[in-house]
Chains A and B, each alone.
Chain A
Amino acid sequence: MKNNGHKSTSPAAHLPKCPTGIQGLDEITNGGLPRGRPTLVCGGAGCGKTLLAAEFLVRGAMQFGEPGVFIAFEETEAELKANVASLGFDLTGLVRRKKIVLDHVYIERSEITETGEYDLEGLFVRLNLAIDSIGAKRVVLDTLEALFAGLPNEAILRAELRRLFRWLKDKGVTAVITAERGREQLTRHGLEEYVSDCVILLDHRVHDQIATRHLRVIKYRGALHGTNEFPFLIGDEGLSVLPITSLGLNHKVSSGRISTGIPRLDAMLGGRGFFRGSSILLTGTPGTGKTSVAAHFAQAAARSGDRVLFFSFEESPNQIIRNMHSIGLRLEPLVERGLLRFHAARPTLCGLEMHLATMFKEIAAFQPAVVIVDPITSLLVAGTDSETKGMVTRLIDFLKGNQVTSFFTSLTHGGHALQQSEIAMSSLMDSWLLLQDFEGNGERNRVLYVLKARGMAHSNQVREFVISNRGIDLVDAYIGPGGVLTGSARAAQNSLERAALLSDQQEAAQLKREVERKRTALERQISGLRADYETEALELRRIAKQVGTQTRLKSAERMELGRLRQADVSVATGARGNAKPKSKQ
């Protein structure tokens, strides 16, 4: 044991571990408690020492084939059985099957008179008998400090305790010793002095009237361990420590996509919606339609056959169903078909740890493909900022580890949509949508934009977000010189544009008519001219004819005159031909 204290090279390899089977604790301690050595679990009253010890034994017996002995100094066997039955552990059955021995050591100072020298060999004998009777590998002493109350001689007791721990080590059993938290030191009677291999401190703190349990490994000789304070829960299935830092960033990722249920939003997200297994944050001020977006997503996912688990921290399931009905979503058939499940709880009902435990349990039971939390900020009242962030981290990690798409809505107050808590939370999220109110023109209008969407080309446009009785639609917002125009301003702008278009059209029609008119006028002119021309041509023909006749007449007259005047022969012969018609005349 002393050698181990000085070993620095890969101590984990040298130190055998004894897995507790308690969710999370084995991760913090890199495999469990030191095998074959005693571990001290200390803490105030009601912080879960006995339950931790009991779970260590029960899981050892059930999961690791290591029988155990429970020496109870404070509770009787029956009480103990009843207490751990609340965690779903069948101690009676384990005792019957000889996997666990329960021994209640009763010690009452008023019944004992001390007369001289003694030792605690009786306890050793009992312990030895119990261990050997079932071949136990694990031992719990709960709470050893009862001895200090029962036995007056502290000097003897301390010497015997030292001997006891050495004896336990020699016996090779992995022991858990519980002790009350002391005022000045870890334990009231300084047991940490004897148990120096591993010390775990449990704590139950109340913050703003809400209690949270914490676990911290103070000391783990010869091994690496998480030194942080980890919240832990006592749920229906035992303890679970929730290590934030121990969860790695090594979950599988999917490139499959899932529709948002709003076609135009899908279009904004690279055309195909969110990534499966990603986490989505939707922030918005009150009344911007966060739940409606969530319900669209839920409906679309459930309709495509995915199981959807909807955690509501503000509205009852019936209220959501009714309200969503008004915008054209029919959720109740999906609920009836078992594809959509609601889980509603008041945030102040219990502490953060209990919420988280309930959520884990629901998720484990329902095995959803999509989880919606509406709104995550409600849980802020159940814990501090850092706790909520820690919780969300754990929830996201858990969901991502299970390839579940998670959708969180987040309520922001005040005019500014980006607040401290969102900034802290948004870094955990893969996609971040923002809903915002625009106030102006005596009305409030909503806009939606995609702030970030990891791993996909997404639209950078601000869209106006319109909720009608047919659901949500995203409308292109008008971006003018005065900024983004929405609502009636957008409508006014639209009608202005329409009017301009109309007048343009009218003008064009006017021009067209003008051209037509001109063309008709031209044609009319042309036909007038043609008529004139035809008249003139007719006249000309008539004149030409007349002129021809006159010429013939004149030449006939000339010939007649020539003949009469005895003109030369040639003229007379040339004129003879011409003289023929004269005979006709």
Chain B
Amino acid sequence: MKNKMMKQARSGSTGGTSAKLWQLRLYVAGQTPKSLTAFSNLKTICENHLKGRYDIEVIDLLEQPQLSRGDQILAIPTLVRKLPQPVRKIIGDLSDTERVLVGLDLRPAN
């Protein structure tokens, strides 16, 4: 029972200006409030900072538990930046926008 909100969100490369496509993967386990918060926070951040060049894949581990091994998922929710390299992991409901931006290398840590 996947929530409509948490379907794959894709924003096509509308601008086409940046060649860099951001591939993000959000691991959740069922429709928990934390997961929903994380997804909406992620959407907001991507729309604000990566408009048109991001790709979010939501993986529900309750449905595909075997995928938890590949990315070494322990905490839920976990956001994995698959591309660009290197791989980054951000855990939590992404409510701390500043830290998310730092974690995604969208803003240098200071």
Q: A residues within 8 Å of B by Cβ?
A: 103, 105-107, 111-126, 128-129, 147, 150-151
Contacts and interface: CB of A to CB of B under 8 A. Distances in A.
- Interface centre among B62, B76, B102, by most A CB within 10 Å? B76
Contacts of A114: 90-92, 99
B8 interface: no
A121 B76 contact: yes
A113 B74 contact: no
15 contacts: A111-B87, A111-B88, A111-B89, A112-B91, A113-B100, A114-B99, A115-B100, A116-B38, A116-B95, A118-B91, A119-B75, A119-B76, A120-B74, A120-B75, A122-B27
Interface in B20-39: 27, 29-30, 32, 34, 37-38
Contacts, number: 99
B93 A105 contact: no
Contacts of B30: 121
A118 B76 contact: yes
Contacts of A118: 34, 75-78, 91-93
Contacts of A151: 74-75, 91
A105 B74 CA distance: 8
A105 B72 contact: yes
A122 B76 contact: yes
A115 B74 contact: no
Majority SS at the chain A contact face: mixed
B65 A128 contact: yes
B61 interface: yes
B66 interface: yes
Instruction: Select the residue from A111, A116, A124 with max chain B CB neighbours within 10 A.
Output: A116
Contact of B99 (A105, A106, A113): A113
B73 A122 contact: yes
Nearest first, the 10 A-B pairs at minimum CB distance are: A113-B103, A116-B92, A122-B73, A121-B76, A116-B95, A121-B29, A129-B65, A115-B92, A116-B93, A125-B61
B95 A117 contact: yes
A115 B34 contact: no
B77 A112 contact: no
Contacts of B75: 118-123, 151
Given A118-B34, A120-B74, A126 B102 contact: no
B68 A126 contact: yes
Given A111-B89, A115-B103, A126 B94 contact: no
Interface residues of B, number: 34
Contacts of B38: 116
Contacts of B68: 122, 125-126, 129
Contacts of B78: 118, 122
Contacts of A106: 72
B90 to A, nearest CB: 5
A119 B100 CA distance: 17
Given A113-B102, A126-B69, 13 more contacts: A111-B87, A114-B90, A114-B91, A114-B92, A116-B94, A117-B92, A117-B95, A119-B34, A122-B76, A123-B74, A126-B65, A126-B73, A128-B65
A107 B72 contact: yes
Interface in B47-75: 61-62, 65-66, 68-69, 72-75
B29 A125 contact: yes
A137 to B, nearest CB: 19
A72 B77 CA distance: 22
A151 B92 CA distance: 11
A14 to B, nearest CB: 35
B46 to A, nearest CB: 14
B29 A122 contact: yes
Contacts of B100: 113, 115
Contacts of A120: 74-76
Question: Which of A107, A114, A125 neighbours the largest number of chain B CB atoms within 10 Å of its CB?
Answer: A125
